Chains A and B, each alone.
Chain A
Amino acid sequence: TQLLEQSPQFLSIQEGENLTVYCNSSSVFSSLQWYRQEPGEGPVLLVTVVTGGEVKKLKRLTFQFGDARKDSSLHITAAQPGDTGLYLCAGNPNNAGNMLTFGGGTRLMVKP
């Protein structure tokens, strides 16, 4: 069982649709990060959320951090083919060691 569970694992949608990706845990995180990874490349940081209940917007992407700091969501409005990729959440649990723990990822495909 992973410390960070992402759902869904796979998502295939048409251009223009909306979607939400979830990142859940039973542990409390001091912060959570979202990354996007495209084929053949390393993950690229999208956002870091640090305050329970925080909402951050990045163009058509909206990120939320749960009040209890155990979960986060990523909502994409009017998805475009350029949004295609692997979305990863990551965090450092309050009592963990020195490294980030990554979720298993959500693979998104947006068809034109």
Chain B
Amino acid sequence: GAGVSQSPSNKVTEKGKDVELRCDPISGHTALYWYRQRLGQGLEFLIYFQGNSAPDKSGLPSDRFSAERTGESVSTLTIQRTQQEDSAVYLCASSPYYADEQYFGPGTRLTVT
């Protein structure tokens, strides 16, 4: 079956511009996660959606970052007024329910010039 997909795979943007990253989770997975991975490092949690509950935004690094999810489907992560330190791979994962094994997409590599 189809796995988690993310688009675009690569994004180069100028400092100060807004970017929108998309994640399509595995069908039927109620939980969706966004992570940031800087070069050569581990995963940094950003935000978590579980069904129709209020999202856990505790990992968002600043108010320039926001995310939305429509029901149990697509999610978009938006970064406003991008900064060079936002350059990283942004990974999306989904799981059947709370804190179960996570299935990751291939990530979006964001480069802010």
* A99 contacts B43, C-beta separation under 8 Å: no
On chain A, the residues within 8 Å of B99 by CB distance are 92, 98-100
A104 to B91, CA, bound (A): 15
Instruction: Give every chain A residue within 8 A of B42 (Cβ-Cβ).
Output: 2, 6, 88, 102-105
Determine the chain B residues whose CB is within 8 A of the CB of A101 once the complex forms: 45
Contacts of B58 in A (CB 8 A): 97
**In the complex the two chains form, is A42's CB within 8 Å of B56's CB?**
no
Number of interface residues of B (CB under 8 A): 25
| Minimal Cβ-Cβ distance residue in A for B109 | A40
Interface of chain B, main secondary structure:
loop
Q: Which of B12-20, B65-73, B78-86, B100-108 contacts A (4 or more CB under 8 A)?
A: B100-108
Considering only CB atoms and an 8 Å cut-off, how many residues of chain A contact the other chain?
Answer: 24
A99 touches B107 (CB 8 A): no
| Chain B nearest CB, measured from A44 CB (Å) | 7
Q: B1-48: which have CB < 8 Å to A?
A: 4, 33, 35, 40-45, 48
- Chain A residues lying within 8 Å of B41, measured Cβ to Cβ, are 104-105
B contact set with A: CB distance below 8 Å: 4, 33, 35, 40-45, 48, 50, 56, 58-59, 91, 93, 98-99, 101-107
